[in-house]
Amino acid sequence: MNGASGSGPPGQEESTEDRMVGMDHAEVRYFTRFAVRAGAKHVIGVDMSSIIYKARLIVAQNGMSSKITLLQGKMEEVELPQHQLNEGKVDIIISEWMGYFLLYESMLDTVLYARDHYLVPGGKIFPDKATILMAAIEDGEYKDDKIGFWDNIYGFDFTPMKESALTEPLVDTVELKALITDPCPVFTIDLNTIKPAELSFSMPYQLRVQRNDFIHALIAWFDIDFSACHKPIKFSTGPHSKYTHWKQTVFYLREVLTVEEGESVVGYLSNKPNHKHKRDLDIKISYELTTEDETRYTRGECGYRMSVEISRALSFDPEIS
Task: Note whether 134 and 106 are within 8 A (CB).
Answer: no
CB atoms within 10 A of CB 63: 9
Task: Note whether 44 and 1 are within 8 A (CB).
Answer: yes
**CA-CA distances (angstroms) from residue 317 to 152, 251, 302?**
14, 22, 27
Catalytic residue among 27, 87, 105, 288: 105
CA distance 128 to 148: 42
CA distance 272 to 229: 31
CB atoms within 10 A of CB 287: 23
Give the contacts of 4 (CB within 8 A, at least 6 positions apart): 20, 21, 22, 23, 31, 32, 35, 36, 40, 42, 43, 44, 45, 68, 90, 92, 94
105 is catalytic: yes
Identity at 306, one-letter amino acid code = M
96 is catalytic: yes
Catalytic residue among 27, 96, 260, 288: 96
CA distance 29 to 20: 18
Q: ∠287-185-195 over CA atoms, to 5°?
A: 100
Q: Which helix (H) or strand (E) holds 73?
A: none
Q: State the DSSP code for 77.
A: T
Task: Note whether 59 and 43 are within 8 A (CB).
Answer: no
CA distance 321 to 309: 23
Q: Which of 36, 13, 50 is nearest to 23 (CA)?
A: 36
Q: Mind telling me the catalytic residues? A: 96, 105
